[in-house]
Chain A
Amino acid sequence: MADIVIDHVVKDFGTFQALQDVSLVVEDGEFVALLGPSGCGKTTLLRIIAGLETQTAGRVVIGGRDVSGLTPRKRGLAMVFQNYAVFPHMTVFENVAFGLRMQKASTADVKRKVERAAALLHIDSYLDRYPAKLSGGQRQRVAVARALAVEPAVLLMDEPLSNLDALLRLEMRTELKAVLREAGTTTIYVTHDQTEAMGLADRIAVMYGGKIEQIGSPLEIYATPATRFVGGFIGSPPMNFIKVRCEQGIVRIGNITLPCPAGCEDMELGLRGEDAMIAADGSGIPFDVRVVEPMGSHLLLTGSINGQLARIVAPPTATINAGERVALKADPSRLTWIDSNTGRAVGRA
């Protein structure tokens, strides 16, 4: 059992608060992605879990054991560093073998496990090179192999694929997922690439400004964002937000009315570009198309709703010209309502 409980963790750097009361539970064998913009505290959280940084307040519990005061080596985990931290004075083989050697594994064991990890990451042909003679992406794969080789119960990865080309990244992503699932490794995976997070994770924790904004399955995060930030951060194109006024549970846009949750007046209607359909009968949310970009699989329309910027995805066969006004329909259950004052979604069970 190696579940991770992060219990109200706070981290101050002097007067700057890098983490504000972060709580997160990662089940045994679960794969959780930490997703967020640069500087939101992802690395800081990972380093606190690893014991490389001391939290100002809060606890970290791994496998039922409070590790808050333990040194990194006593926490029984492996980590892939954002800047790789591959040892320059050791060959690739010795780098990958480092953790195993520290565990006093037998020579045969070391060789077998190193070769397995190296094969997985396609670095088996550079095993006797020094890191200085590797490219950035190759070095990064050495760092991942070093962490996988020890077959840890808990694996922390800080943007482990950021330096690979798109094709290799896709391949590594699927292989990583398969290997970690098979081994039942509890994984926390930091990334700012949302497709990576969506594809890999059982659950995604979206971080922003030192806080976790929302935790949920990729689909939940996508379909029902808890805050304005999450809606705008996830999805391509990002969610459209249109300022509206809610009066007696009704919102008027153009010539239609939509029911809206009660509770506040100034609201924003969150509409995913993919969820909007172009109404044949011309009645719906009015959308003034300014630019049409054919993307192959779809048309990306940029324009405005009520004078506010919006991006809508239309089928590739639709015939829409710039300058046209079209009407949009959407399934009411797929709309998100945001309280303009708090930035949080309202009216959700």
Chain B
Amino acid sequence: MTTSLSQAPASGAPRAYMLPSARRFLLWTGLVALLAWVLVPIYFVALGAFGGRTGVFRWPKSIWPSDLSVAPMMQFLNIEGVFNALMNSFIAAGLTVVFSILLGAPAGYALARYTFRGQNAYRLLVLLTRAFPLAILALPLTVSFIRIGLYDTPFGVSLIHTVLALPFAALVTQSLFMGIPREYEEAAWVFGCTRFQAFVKVVLPLALPGLAATAIFAFVISWNEVFAASILTVRERTLTAYLLKILSESPLHYRFAGGFILIIPSVLFIFAVRRYLFAVWGIASK
């Protein structure tokens, strides 16, 4: 601070001194507010989940946890079907991630790298899959799922969730691949790669951060989706759909436990792929 003071012209010195600290103050308050916005509700949900029956109703609420115990959590997990639903949710979300990347990324790559007839129509079509309300499709879907044998399976649910996540996956990966100069691939070809090898060795590592973001999005879409999951399953519910059914008739601290369990996997998943969200090699060369 002293150095910047001595360098600045005398009249402008106070302002030059004020500005950075004011800006820093804004930055930090912004950060704190944002963190609070996200973390405080999660914290209270966790308090409710672990605080037991009495903790939930105590007033005024204490910020600090008292008589914490995992017992309510365990009780909740022991409720008939919760564990099964949790597994179903993981399967459906996992498959949704796999399908949306496997189908969406090649579509995005094609949109980014090739010019073909009907390209714009195709792009529109990709978005149009979101134009039909699920509610209208629900009945025919249920009927045909029953017919094909997909009804009441997490696999069937993941197919519908893939449809929901796919437009996003295709369009995000398109701009992702457009941001990777074609010359990198061309250099790889010249130095002995097939198209596929060049994709795996050069494009994929560069695309990883964006693919991770796409994966997170697909995971969260599937994890939080209730409507399709409720309609297309009876016994093999996903957690979200199952909780919706049972929580309305459960005591409050169970609801908190359910909410907490709903939040945690998404957070963990984001945490797991966070490394890929930030380019580790600082792609500054364009």
Question: CB of A83 within 8 A of chain B?
Answer: yes
CA–CA, A72 to B284, complex, Å?
27
- Closest chain-A Cβ to B185's Cβ sits at a distance in Å of 9
A132 touches B190 (CB 8 A): no
Contacting residues of chain B (260-285) with chain A, CB-CB under 8 angstroms: 281-285
Q: Cβ of A102: which chain B residues have Cβ within 8 Å of it?
A: 191-193, 197
- Chain B hits for A130, CB < 8 A: 281-282
Q: Is the CB–CB distance between A85 and B192 below 8 Å?
A: no
Distance in Å from the Cβ of B197 to the closest Cβ of chain A? 8
* Interface flag for B205 (CB, 8 Å): yes
Contact in complex: A132, B283 (CB < 8 Å): yes
B199 at the interface (CB under 8 A from A): no
CB distance B285 to A50 under 8 Å? no
A79 within 8 A of B: yes
A77-B190 Cα distance, complex, nearest whole Å: 7
Does A131 touch B at the CB level, under 8 Å?
yes
Q: Are B206 and A85 in contact (CB under 8 A)?
A: no
Q: Encode contact with B along A115-148: 1 for CB under 8 Å, 0 otherwise.
A: 0000000000000001111000001000000100
- Indicate whether A45 reaches chain B with its CB closer than 8 angstroms: no
Interface residues on B, range: 20 to 34
Chain A residues contacting B202 (CB-CB under 8 Å) are 87, 89
Query: Quick one: CB contact mask for A78-89 with B, threshold 8 Å, 1 for yes?
Result: 110101111111
Distance, CA A102 to CA B205, complexed state (A): 17
Let me know if B189 is at the binding interface, CB within 8 A.
yes
Number of A-B contacts (CB under 8 A): 72
From residue A77, how far is it (CB to closest CB) to chain B in Å?
7
Query: Which residues of chain A have C-beta atoms less than 8 A from B190's C-beta?
Result: 50-52, 72-73, 77-79
A77, closest chain B residue (CB): B190
Assembled-state Cα–Cα distance A73/B191 (Å):
6
> How many angstroms from the CA of A103 to the CA of B192 in the assembled complex?
7
Q: Mark B178-198, 1 if CB is under 8 A from A, else 0.
A: 000101101111111110010
Query: Does A6 belong to the interface (CB within 8 Å)?
Result: no
Which residues of B (140-186) have their CB < 8 Å from a CB of A? 181, 183-184, 186
A139 to B190, CA, bound (A): 18
- Interface residues as binary, A88-114 with B (CB distance below 8 Å gives 1, 0 otherwise): 110000000011001100000000000
CA distance A86 to B187 in the complex (A): 8
Interface string of B200-222 (1 = CB under 8 A from A): 00100110000000000000000
- Please indicate the chain B residues that have their CB under 8 angstroms from the CB of A50 in the complex: 190
A52 to B188, CA, bound (A): 11
Is the Cβ of B191 less than 8 Å from the Cβ of A146? Answer: yes
Q: Which of A103, A132, A139, A150 has the most CB of B within 10 A?
A: A132
A312 to chain B, nearest CB (A): 45
CB < 8 Å: which of B186, B188, B191, B285 contacts A131?
A: B285
Contact A52-B186, Cβ < 8 Å, known A89-B205, A98-B191: yes
Let me know if A150 and B191 touch, CB within 8 A. Answer: yes
A71 within 8 A of B: yes
Is B284 a contact partner of A132 (Cβ separation < 8 A)? yes
**Which chain B residue lies CB-closest to A91?**
B281
User: For residue A156, which residue of chain B has the nearest CB?
Assistant: B190
Determine the residue in chain B with the shortest Cβ distance to A104.
Answer: B192
A271 to B6, CA, bound (A): 62
Set of chain B residues within 8 Å of A71, measured between Cβ atoms: 189, 194
Query: 20 additional contacts, CB 8 Å, given A81-B183, A88-B206?
Result: A50-B190, A52-B186, A71-B189, A71-B194, A72-B189, A73-B189, A73-B193, A77-B190, A85-B181, A85-B184, A85-B186, A88-B184, A88-B283, A88-B284, A88-B285, A89-B205, A89-B206, A132-B281, A132-B283, A133-B282
A-B contact pairs, 24 of them (CB 8 A): A50-B190, A51-B189, A52-B189, A52-B190, A71-B189, A72-B189, A73-B191, A78-B190, A78-B191, A79-B190, A81-B186, A83-B181, A85-B183, A85-B186, A85-B187, A88-B281, A89-B202, A89-B205, A89-B283, A98-B191, A103-B192, A130-B281, A132-B282, A133-B282
What is B's interface to A at a CB cutoff of 8 Å?
A: 181, 183-184, 186-194, 197, 202, 205-206, 281-285
Residues of A within 8 A of B (CB): 50-52, 71-73, 77-79, 81, 83-89, 98-99, 102-103, 130-133, 139, 146, 150
Closest CB pairs A-B (n = 5):
A102-B192, A85-B183, A99-B191, A85-B187, A72-B189
